[in-house]
Amino acid sequence: GNSVTQMEGPVTLSEEAFLTINCTYTATGYPSLFWYVQYPGEGLQLLLKATKADDKGSNKGFEATYRKETTSFHLEKGSVQVSDSAVYFCALRLIQGAQKLVFGQGTRLTINP
């Protein structure tokens, strides 16, 4: 089946630290990969995406590269801010098929000033 595994949280960092949140996936087909962010009391916002191997998605200083050989899509940011505190979800969706997203369990990130 299709599944996504994220590093367990919570993750606590100081402002301006380097961030990595690991994400690996298992898919029966060829997926598109996504990172979503959820701020307290809100729905999910798409942070970045990649639709084919070696693609790099980037947005707001966050980056993730689609690595087919390691089935990974790790999220990175060079210098985090307090405003980045949120829950981050890695997700996949098969290219051929429905719009159904398969999510990882989420990683809660807290940035201290």
Partner 1 sequence: KAGVTQTPRYLIKTRGQQVTLSCSPISGHRSVSWYQQTPGQGLQFLFEYFSETQRNKGNFPGRFSGRQFSNSRSEMNVSTLELGDSALYLCASSLAWRDSSYEQYFGPGTRLTVT
List residues binding partner 1 (CB under 8 A): 31-32, 36, 41-46, 49, 51, 89, 93-106
The residue among 13 and 94 lying less far from partner 1, judged by its C-beta, is 94
State the CB neighbour count (10 A cutoff) for residue 15: 13
The residue among 80 and 106 lying less far from partner 1, judged by its C-beta, is 106
Distance CA 46, CA 109 (A): 16
The residue among 98 and 113 lying less far from partner 1, judged by its C-beta, is 98
- Confirm if 2 and 94 have CB atoms less than 8 A apart: yes
Instruction: Output the smallest distance, CB 34 to partner 1, in A.
Output: 8
Instruction: Output the smallest distance, CB 32 to partner 1, in A.
Output: 4
Instruction: Output the smallest distance, CB 103 to partner 1, in A.
Output: 4
The residue among 6 and 80 lying less far from partner 1, judged by its C-beta, is 6
Q: Which string of DSSP letters, residue by residue, matches 6-69? A: E--S-EEEETT--EEE-EEEE-SS-EEEEEEEE-TT--EEEEEEE-STT-EEEETTEEEE-BTT
Instruction: Output the smallest distance, CB 25 to partner 1, in A.
Output: 14
112 DSSP 8-state letter: E
